[in-house]
Amino acid sequence: MNNFTFSSPTNVIFGKGTEQDVGKYVKALGNKVLLHYGGGSIKRNGLYDVVVKSLQDAGVEIVELGGVVPNPRYSKIKEGALLCRKENVDVVLAVGGGSVIDSAKGIAAATLIEEEEDFWDDYIMKKRRPVKALPIGVVLTLPAAGSETNRGIVITNDQTQFKRSLGSDHMIPKFAIINPEYHYSLPNYQTACGSADIIAHLLERYFTHTTNVDFSDRLLEASLRTMIHVAPLALKNPEDYNLRAEIAWCGTIAHNGILGKGRVEDWGTHSLQHELGAIYDITHGEGLAIMFPAWMKYVWKENPKRFVQFATRVWNVDYAVEKEEEIILEGIRRMEVFFKDLGLATRLSELNIDDSKFEEMAKKMLLGKETEGNFKKMTVEDAVNIYKLAL
Signed CA dihedral, 367, 368, 370, 372: sign only: negative
Judged by CB under 8 A, how many residues of this single chain contact its own copies? Answer: 43
The binder of its own copies chosen from 41, 141, 190, 226 (CB under 8 A)? 226
DSSP code, position 384: H
How far is it, in rounded angstroms, from Cα 107 to Cα 173? 13
How far is it, in rounded angstroms, from Cα 57 to Cα 63? 15
How far is it, in rounded angstroms, from Cα 179 to Cα 20? 10
- Nearest approach in angstroms of CB 253 to its own copies is 7
Per-position x/- string for 340-359, each x denoting binding to its own copies as judged by CB under 8 A, each - no binding = --------------------
The binder of its own copies chosen from 52, 258, 351, 391 (CB under 8 A)? 258
Q: Does 305 bind its own copies (CB under 8 A)?
A: no
Stretch that binds its own copies, among 30-38, 71-79, 216-224, 328-336 (CB under 8 A): 216-224
Stretch that binds its own copies, among 10-18, 91-99, 369-377, 381-389 (CB under 8 A): 10-18
Q: Does 200 bind its own copies (CB under 8 A)?
A: no
Q: Does 288 bind its own copies (CB under 8 A)?
A: no
Stretch that binds its own copies, among 4-12, 67-75, 316-324, 342-350 (CB under 8 A): 4-12
The binder of its own copies chosen from 32, 225, 340, 347 (CB under 8 A)? 225
Alpha helices, DSSP H only, in 88-179? 98-110
Per-position x/- string for 93-132, each x denoting binding to its own copies as judged by CB under 8 A, each - no binding = ----------------------------------------
Q: Does 14 bind its own copies (CB under 8 A)?
A: yes
Q: Does 314 bind its own copies (CB under 8 A)?
A: no
- Nearest approach in angstroms of CB 370 to its own copies is 28
DSSP code, position 128: P
Residue 149 CB partners (closer than 8 Å, separation 6+): 8, 10, 12, 172, 173, 176, 252, 255, 256
Stretch that binds its own copies, among 2-10, 76-84, 150-158, 364-372 (CB under 8 A): 2-10
Residue 43 CB partners (closer than 8 Å, separation 6+): 49
Closest CA to 235 of 279, 175, 195, 289: 195
Q: What angle do CA 82, 165, 10 make, to 5 degrees?
A: 80
**Residue 86 neighbours by CB distance under 10 Å:** 9
Cβ closest to its own copies, residue 13 vs residue 391: 13
**Residue 370 neighbours by CB distance under 10 Å:** 9
Amino acid sitting at position 89: V
Question: How many residues can be counted in the chain?
Answer: 391
Stretch that binds its own copies, among 72-80, 241-249, 303-311, 330-338 (CB under 8 A): 241-249
Q: Does 319 bind its own copies (CB under 8 A)?
A: no
How far is it, in rounded angstroms, from Cα 380 to Cα 368? 12
**Where along the sequence are the contacts to its own copies (CB under 8 A)?**
1-18, 211-212, 214-216, 218-219, 221-223, 225-226, 229-230, 241-243, 245-246, 249-250, 253, 258, 261-262
